[in-house]
Amino acid sequence: MMQQETKTKIIAYPWLCGCIIFSLLVYWIFSLALIFKSQSIQSVAPLPRAVYYSFFKQNWHLFADTRQYNRELYLILNDSNSQQKNDSIALVKYIVAQKRKHAPFNNFEDATDHLIYRIMNGLEQQIYENKILLQKQFPDMSAGYYLQQSSMLVEQDSLHKSNLQNLESFGKYVLQQNKITTTGKLFKLVLVYHYIQPPNPQAGINTNQIDQTIFTSTFKKI
């Protein structure tokens, strides 16, 4: 009886099973290490990390990072002769409205929203880095100075010009979609944070802040 029991508990392909279980263990240990110590892994094993990220993304924040504001990207049109403000289009509002209109079958609008959102993230990162540099070089200057200078540096940055170029292209696309005449007009982009009103004054931060301009480009020909 005992002999029969031991016979039935024989593992098929023991070596192969061992290899499979070992590989699975390595995979999970590496996954967990990347989740919790991504930067350390980058310095120790950059190649395996890059290979892993090519196939898998384990970034499960799922709305954990709260944004206290809604971002808006304005495209402002000026008359090239009189230099007077002619028109202003809220580009983010435009995408969101399209997304709402076609929900739940809004895959095109959702894709556009995703792309523009990530491009704006890239632009914001550029602005942030420039601002830090400026604050180090020229401390105690006004907020307006940092805004103007960092915006200028972003426009002059030839290495990372794709973010701004993409946003400009999208602005032109929206102008086309809305059939807005562009002859004899100049345009510029302005990135603004519209702060969300907190649920109650005690709980919220930035209660006094309503809008904050983050970036403003110079006027260009369309």
Partner 1 sequence: MLKIIKQAVWQLQQRNQKASALAFLRVALCSWYLKELLFRWPALELLYSNNSILKIKASNSFQLFHLDIAFFYEHYLVLVYCCIVLLFLNLFGIGKNILAFILFIALTILYNLNDKFGNSGDEMVLLLFFYLSFANSFSRFTLFKQKQIGVDKQHFYNLMSNLAAYSIIFNLCLAYFLAGTFKAQDPYWIKGIGIHYFLNDERFSIFAAGNTLHLPTWLMYLVNYGTIAFELSFPFLVWFRQSRNVVLSLGLMMHLGIYLFLMIYGMSIVFIIQYVLFFTEEELNQCFQKIKLLFIKRKQLQT
Distance CA 61, CA 23 (A): 27
Cα three-residue angle 55-56-62, rounded to 5 degrees = 150
Figure out which of the listed residues 37, 42, 67, 138 binds partner 1, where binding follows CB under 8 A: 67
Helices and strands (H and E) in the chain: how many: 8, 5
Nearer to partner 1, 15 or 144 (CB): 15
CB of 41 to partner 1, least distance (A): 16
Question: Which residue in 219, 190, 164 sits closest to 89, CA to CA?
Answer: 190
> How many CA atoms within 13 Å lie on the side-chain side of 184?
6
Distance CA 20, CA 12 (A): 13
User: Cβ contacts of residue 108 below 8 Å, gap of 6+?
Assistant: 102
CB 187 within 8 A of CB 220: yes
CB of 137 to partner 1, least distance (A): 31
Q: How many CB atoms lie within 10 A of CB 23?
A: 10
Figure out which of the listed residues 106, 149, 206, 212 binds partner 1, where binding follows CB under 8 A: 106
Figure out which of the listed residues 22, 117, 138, 219 binds partner 1, where binding follows CB under 8 A: 117
Nearer to partner 1, 17 or 132 (CB): 17
Figure out which of the listed residues 5, 43, 65, 82 binds partner 1, where binding follows CB under 8 A: 65
Q: Does residue 135 interact with partner 1 by CB under 8 A? A: no
CB of 82 to partner 1, least distance (A): 30
Nearer to partner 1, 105 or 139 (CB): 105
Q: Does residue 162 interact with partner 1 by CB under 8 A? A: yes
Nearer to partner 1, 13 or 39 (CB): 13
Q: Does residue 58 interact with partner 1 by CB under 8 A? A: yes
Q: Does residue 220 interact with partner 1 by CB under 8 A? A: no
CB 219 within 8 A of CB 186: yes
Question: Which residue in 162, 187, 171 sits closest to 95, CA to CA?
Answer: 171
Figure out which of the listed residues 43, 54, 82, 158 binds partner 1, where binding follows CB under 8 A: 54
Residues that bind partner 1 (CB under 8 A): 9-13, 16-17, 20-21, 24, 28, 35, 50-51, 53-68, 70, 92-93, 96, 99-100, 103-108, 110-115, 117-119, 162, 165-166, 169-170, 172-173, 196-200, 203-204
